[in-house]
């Protein structure tokens, strides 16, 4: 194929008016040479200007800037928040599963020999463990709603507030991964550190989103974060109790059916 003669984008077939496609943004394609292969490798692995690296570093240094610029329309600079959350959370789950470390460790509140935890609590932990990604996405939505309650007259909508909340809840995953790799995550100190970092990061990061960053602003973010965690646990607890009840109902019905069948067989044998 002669790439030089192509006047249409080979990615979306739109007419090429410059070296970059005006519709999909792809650069005019050329044959894969050795030098181009090296460029692709360099850009894919160690390019510090890639949206992922820029987003990753900026969310640690100045998260408020990322939130404001992304909402203001500067989006090619930063990594897609949905994909960023998905890949970072998936990576943390992979590390935790590979090292056999529970992300939500119930060993801090009980032991195998003396575990008096109620069944709904155990079911809640199991639910959280199996759906970390969905939990984070849902928690970001609850937090966006709570932020809008406290910043009712601010220009950002709930949909817009969802983006910084999702970025914000995803970033502390790096701290969790580091604690897992160091072996401290399942200790009481590791749990305290990860929880404290997440909450302080929320107040600091989300507080930078708003134009007037006063003490009152950070205090409202604090109350919004606290309220979101309370609402989230209430909703999640309700879902868990309902699911446990439904499961218990099916189990009881199954046990009743099995018992009935056993009794029927026993009666049949006795009659013979």
pLDDT tens digits along 135-159: 889 899 999 999 999 999 889 999 9
Rounded Cα distance between 152 and 70, Å, is: 21
| Greater pLDDT, 267 or 176 | 176
List phi, psi (to 5°) of 126. Answer: -60, -40
pLDDT of the residue at 269: 58
Mean pLDDT of 121-131: 56
pLDDT of the residue at 233: 77
Mean pLDDT of 78-90: 92
Task: Indicate the average pLDDT of the chain.
Answer: 79
Are 76 and 49 contacting, i.e. CB atoms less than 8 angstroms apart?
no
pLDDT of the residue at 46: 56
pLDDT of the residue at 235: 76
Classify each residue of 161-199 as buried b or exposed e, where b means 16 or more C-beta atoms within 10 Å of its C-beta.
bbbbbbbbbbbbbbbbbebbeeeebeeeebbebbeebbe
Mean pLDDT of 197-204: 94
Q: What is the 3-state secondary structure (H, E, C) of the chain?
A: CCHHHCCECCCCCCECCCCECCCCCCECCCCCCHHHHHHHHHHHHCCCCCHHHHHHHHHHHCHHHHHHHHHCCCCCCCCCHHHHHHHHHHHHHHHHHHCCCCCCCHHHCCCCCCCCCCHHHHHHHHHHHHCHHHHHHHHHHHHHHHHHHHCCCCCCCHHHHHHHHHHHHHCCHHHHHHHHHHCCCCCHHHHHHHHHHHHHHHHHHHHCCCCCCCHHHHHHHHHHHHHHHHHHHHHHHHHHHHHHHHHHHHHHHHHHHHHHHHHHHHHHHHHC
Whether the pLDDT of residue 204 is over 50: the answer is: yes
| Greater pLDDT, 145 or 271 | 145
pLDDT of the residue at 182: 92
Whether the pLDDT of residue 114 is over 50: the answer is: no
Are 173 and 92 contacting, i.e. CB atoms less than 8 angstroms apart?
yes
Please count the CA atoms within 13 angstroms of the CA of 115 that sit on its side-chain side: 9
The percent of residues in the chain predicted with pLDDT above 90, rounded, is 37
Return the closest-CA partner of residue 29 out of 46, 47, 16: 16
The percent of residues in the chain predicted with pLDDT above 70, rounded, is 69
Res. 236 pLDDT band, cuts 50 70 90: low
| Greater pLDDT, 98 or 24 | 98
What pTM did the predictor assign? 0.72
């Amino acid at each position: 194929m002669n790439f030089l003669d192509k006047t249409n984008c080979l990615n979306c077939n739109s007419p090429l008016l410059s070296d970059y496609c005006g519709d999909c943004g792809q650069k005019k394609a050329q044959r894969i040479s050795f030098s181009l292969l090296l460029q692709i490798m360099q850009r894919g692995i160690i390019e510090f200007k890639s949206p992922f690296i820029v987003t990753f570093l900026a969310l640690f240094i100045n998260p408020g800037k990322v939130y404001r610029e992304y909402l203001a329309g500067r989006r090619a600079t930063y990594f897609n928040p949905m994909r960023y959350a998905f890949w970072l959370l998936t990576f943390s789950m992979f590390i935790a599963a590979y090292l056999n470390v529970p992300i939500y460790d119930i060993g801090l509140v009980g032991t195998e020999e003396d575990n008096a935890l109620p069944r709904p609590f155990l079911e809640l932990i199991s639910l959280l463990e199996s759906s970390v990604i969905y939990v984070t996405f849902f928690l970001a939505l609850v937090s966006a709603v709570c932020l809008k309650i406290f910043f009712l007259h601010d220009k950002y909508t709930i949909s817009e507030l969802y983006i910084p909340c999702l970025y914000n809840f995803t970033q502390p995953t790096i701290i969790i991964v580091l604690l897992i790799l160091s072996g401290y995550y399942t200790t009481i100190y590791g749990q305290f550190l990860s929880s404290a970092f997440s909450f302080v990061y929320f107040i600091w990061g989300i507080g930078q989103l708003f134009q007037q960053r006063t003490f009152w602003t950070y205090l409202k973010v604090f109350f919004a974060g606290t309220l979101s965690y309370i609402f989230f646990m209430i909703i999640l607890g309700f879902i868990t109790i309902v699911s446990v009840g439904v499961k218990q109902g099916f189990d009881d019905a199954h046990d009743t059916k099995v018992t009935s069948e056993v009794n029927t067989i026993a009666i049949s044998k006795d009659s013979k």
